[in-house]
Structure 1
């Protein structure tokens, strides 16, 4: 199940971050098992935070995403507030901790 809007270019990702106050960027790869396990959990969690606008980026389709955001492993979960990265999680993500971090950001935005 993929309900995140799918980016088709790095320019689209950068524009999306600029246009939304709270932006969640989910960077994954097709052959990443952890990516496919974590994504539905993150999607479910984000239903509690409608102010956060998500977008998914495939590092397979848009390889320059790795250098643009200095990503060395996937999945990479990035949260931006007014264009500034405030949360970064990668590879093994503790969902309860991520939820607390998102809650703090949303409450203070």
Structure 2
């Protein structure tokens, strides 16, 4: 259950970043409100997951989902540039998160 909460927290982090982009520096009301809601959900679920999971691994997974998801969203929906270096960097983030889990820190 903690892993599901952590994954959801990471996905809410992606939504938080997307909302922040569209808030235009908190000058647009609805995306600004969405940012606050997604931030509370993301941090709240992370806090609940940390009752069971190790902080180092959980935080790495949470930020990894956020970083990879936000980068992908930016490239797919926001027209941000796509390059081999960006894709390789995303793959390295994923490899690091998987490596931490394989090292036993997530159990």
TM exceeding 0.5: no
Give the TM-score normalised by the residue count of structure 1.
0.28
Give the TM-score normalised by the residue count of structure 2.
0.28
Larger Rg: 2
Larger relative helix fraction:
2
